Amino acid sequence: MDCFIITKKFHIAQFKRGAAVANVMFIFPGQGSQYKGMGIDLIEKSKSALEVYNKASSVLGYDISELSFQDKNNQINLTKYTQPVLMTHQIACYEFFKDLRESSINPMLLAGHSLGEYTALVLSGSITFEEGISIVSKRGELMGKHGSGAMLAMPFERKAAKDIINQFNCEIATVNQLKQTVVGGAHTDIERLLERLANDYPKKRAVQLRTEGAFHTSLMKRAADEFKEYLQDIKFREMSIPVLSNFSSEIHKLDGSESEELLYNQLYKPVNWLGCMQTAAEMEVHSIIEFGGGIGNDTNPNEKRPNLEGITKKNFRSMENTVNYFPAINTSTIENTAKIIRQ
């Protein structure tokens, strides 16, 4: 059976089952890709995935399986829970994928969007899964505790967005792609900005995001300062695979010596996903596998779509680079991707 990929000029081309891929990057999404029921399909087919959930629950001191699968208390969208839920799902997807492979795929690079950067550090060997779960749990707790303000996705390039938001005391929070910039600010400032955009740019659609605060802006500085104190007790080890920093758009030093500072800055300064993908293209990444999370209104995990695929493909398209994209976000896509590619 054949599947289809996007080639350098983004024509549709056949990609035969079992064909080899080279220069692979693994990526992991951030908040916004969580949903009630995520992971329940994995544990029905994978003992390794179940072990991941059990291990996370043991570390956290609460049942993350129940929270992820049933969410009886409507907690999955609270930042303190969202972050460990997503990391657990991402690692569970990876473990199931690994079990289905006759031989391992060795990525040349790892990257994650915001929270996803921590999952990348786990897979690099810089921190253990148990450490990673503890770190993102603390990070989410502090972001929820000190969170204030709101976030708005604007269909503008970074410079154009900055010129507009300067009048409203807002800040750049995330540069996702050339023409998508997320900004953050106080609720009243975001409301005024929305009103101005509607009046001055009626054909451009800005979308307010559902978050507990203006993440990746100075409104997170207090959370970041407390988080930095927590990170001082974490030992970042030698990385076996390079990891891209959201803050610098370059790779972490492999010895882990600058990771604490990069993660501190990432919390209250902009995420540059566009810059990360530009670095990946310069390093000649040709294939991407996205692990975990999912978007879409359907409640069935196997009907979810990958969170980062759209913006990541557009980033590579803007650089006229080849990118073969493979989702591994539920049992269906993981099984399909494991069958299609080899290395």
Residue 22 is predicted with a pLDDT of 74
Cβ neighbour number for residue 235 with a 10 Å cutoff:
9
CATH superfamily of 2-147+220-342: Malonyl-Coenzyme A Acyl Carrier Protein, domain 2 (3.40.366.10)
How far is the C-alpha of 9 from the C-alpha of 309, rounded, in Å?
17
Please name which of 84, 28, 91 lies closest in space to residue 59, comparing C-alpha atoms.
84
Q: For residue 9, report the phi and psi dihedrals to the nearest 5 degrees.
A: -95, 10
Whole-number Cα distances in Å, 53 to 19, 116, 185, 221: 32, 17, 35, 31
User: Chunked in runs of 10, what are the mean pLDDT values of the chain (343 residues)?
Assistant: 32 39 92 97 97 98 98 96 98 96 88 98 98 98 96 97 96 97 98 96 94 96 98 98 98 98 98 97 96 96 96 94 93 95 63
Residue 17 is predicted with a pLDDT of 45
2-147+220-342 and 150-209: same fold? Answer: no
pTM for the whole structure: 0.93
- Enumerate the domain spans of the chain: 2-147+220-342, 150-209
Residue 2 is predicted with a pLDDT of 36
Bridge-based pairing of strands 12-16 and 207-209 is unpaired
Q: Determine the Cα angle at 121 with ends 116 and 122, to 5°.
A: 95
Cα-Cα-Cα-Cα dihedral sign, residues 244, 248, 251, 252: negative
Local structure of 231: helix, strand or coil: helix
Burial of 278 (0-12, 13-18, 19+ CB in 10 A): middle
Which residues are known catalytic residues?
114, 216
Residue 103 is predicted with a pLDDT of 73
Cβ–Cβ under 8 Å, residues 242 and 295: no
CATH no. for 150-209: 3.30.70.250
Whole-angstrom Cα Rg for the chain: 19
